[in-house]
Amino acid sequence: MNRKKVLKIVLIFLIVIILVTAYFLLTKKKRNNIIEMVENFELYQEITDPDERSFGKDCNANEEFNQFKKIMELGSMKKLVLPGGMQVMITPNYNRWSNKKFLSFNTVDPDAFCGAGGTYPLHAYKNQLLWKQACSTGAMPEPDAPGYQEFMKCIETEEAIVNYFE
């Protein structure tokens, strides 16, 4: 190979490395910004609409959740809307559940919260419970359908949050 071809290959290789590095740094920064928002409880707004405060009306949840639900529906419940419409909510940790106990409702007793209308346990802090709402029921819109771009942003946000709290 002549010298010009080698220089072209090296230059192209360096450009690709720079672009890939920039992409990963921007993606990491975006994820970090989302997590900072999630953990800044001052950004959350109180939910006043009774329909938004429900974790399932006709639910065969376990008794522990039913007791929690009665207390929770009378107390504070706040939400934060993230990119793509992804929502996270906080409630007081009335039962002082550990993170392991809180998340066990997803793994050991997944019907305990009845899917909570698409709201699921995400993380237990000492004084707060963090919940996430699913972006969809599993049906993905077609790429040319209205709302597709917003749906993809929601999925990206949800993945960043779930991966952070794993």
- Tell me if 138 sits within 8 A of 151, measured CB to CB: no
CA-closest candidate to residue 19, choices 8, 31, 11: 11
What is the mean pLDDT of the segment spanning 29-52?
A: 84
What is the mean pLDDT of the segment spanning 52-56?
A: 67
What's the pLDDT band for 151 if we cut at 50, 70, 90? confident
Q: Which residue has the higher pLDDT, 20 or 141?
A: 141
pTM: 0.73
Q: In 73-108, which positions are buried (b, 16+ CB within 10 angstroms) versus exposed (e)?
A: eeeebbbbebebebbbbbbebebebebeebbebeee
Burial class of 21 by CB neighbour count within 10 A (0 to 12, 13 to 18, 19+): exposed
pLDDT tens per residue, range 90-139: 999 998 999 988 888 766 665 565 544 567 888 999 999 998 887 776 67
Distance CA 152, CA 159 (A): 11
**What are the sequence ranges of the domains in the chain?**
44-165
Q: Which residue has the higher pLDDT, 138 or 47?
A: 47
What's the pLDDT band for 55 if we cut at 50, 70, 90? low
Does the structure show a pLDDT above 70 at 82?
A: yes
